[in-house]
């Protein structure tokens, strides 16, 4: 006679799963917005594949010219169709994981050198990526405008935000050591 028993599911918040176990999942494909090199802004998606065929996806809005990781979000254990919709939404093209990794971590380091911290949700989102260590080959990605921080006013930037960003640049890189572009430029 076969034993039957209850299946007990232990529920864990997605954030806790990502922090503790996402890096154990195999990497899936990575995607980036089509025009990222021209615009200096990239939305990068990195996927991890679950054994059930679903994906956990990290999404990163990256400013390669100045501010670094402007936003970080994730979708947990989603079906392929939802992942495909995200790729269409960002107008994404496939990118090699190592290049995506270098774009994200490179922008974070470049921004940090100018005094900017990554978005608060990076605290979770970074665990969808591989650790930033010697196992990931370094790829030369240009940041700033010829290596100089370049702040472009965004469509949602308020005068208070603009002043705060400029004050941070003044303090950390010095007046005249960065580019500032407003709408008229």
Cα three-residue angle 107-173-73, rounded to 5 degrees? 25
Give 91-105 pLDDT, tens digit per residue.
989 999 999 999 999
Q: Are strands 150-152 and 179-181 parallel, antiparallel or unpaired?
A: parallel
Q: How far apart are CA 106 and CA 116, in angstroms?
A: 13
pLDDT range class, residue 1, cuts 50, 70, 90: very low
More confident of the two residues 82 and 3: 82
Query: What does the domain layout of the chain look like in residue ranges?
Result: 25-142
Q: Is the pLDDT of residue 2 over 80?
A: no
Contact predicate 40/64, CB 8 Å: yes
Helix (H) or strand (E) holding 63: strand 55-63
The residues near 92 (Cβ < 8 Å, ≥ 6 apart) are 31, 32, 33, 34, 43, 45, 86
If pLDDT is split at 50, 70 and 90, which confidence band does 184 have? low
Task: State the pTM of this model.
Answer: 0.90
Q: What is the pLDDT of residues 20-77, one digit of tens each?
A: 999 999 999 999 999 999 999 999 999 999 999 999 999 999 999 999 999 999 999 9
Q: Tokens at residue 99, please?
A: 């290049």
């Amino acid at each position: 006679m076969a034993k039957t028993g209850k299946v007990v599911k232990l529920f864990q918040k997605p954030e806790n799963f990502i922090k503790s176990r996402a890096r154990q999942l195999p990497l899936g494909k990575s995607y980036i917005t089509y025009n990222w090199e021209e615009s200096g802004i990239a939305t990068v998606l990195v996927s991890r594949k679950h054994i059930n065929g679903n994906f956990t996806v990290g999404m990163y809005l990256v400013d390669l010219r100045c501010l670094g990781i402007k936003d970080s979000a994730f979708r947990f254990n989603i079906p392929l169709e939802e992942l495909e919709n995200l790729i269409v939404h960002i107008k994404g093209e496939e990118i090699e994981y190592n290049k995506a990794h270098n774009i994200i971590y490179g922008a974070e380091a470049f921004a940090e050198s100018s005094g900017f911290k990554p978005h608060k949700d990076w605290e979770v989102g970074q665990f969808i990526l591989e650790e930033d260590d010697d196992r990931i080959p370094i790829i030369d990605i240009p940041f700033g405008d010829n290596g100089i921080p370049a702040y472009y006013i965004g469509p949602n930037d308020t005068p208070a935000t603009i002043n705060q960003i400029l004050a941070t640049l003044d303090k950390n890189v010095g007046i005249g050591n960065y580019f500032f572009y407003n709408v008229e430029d």
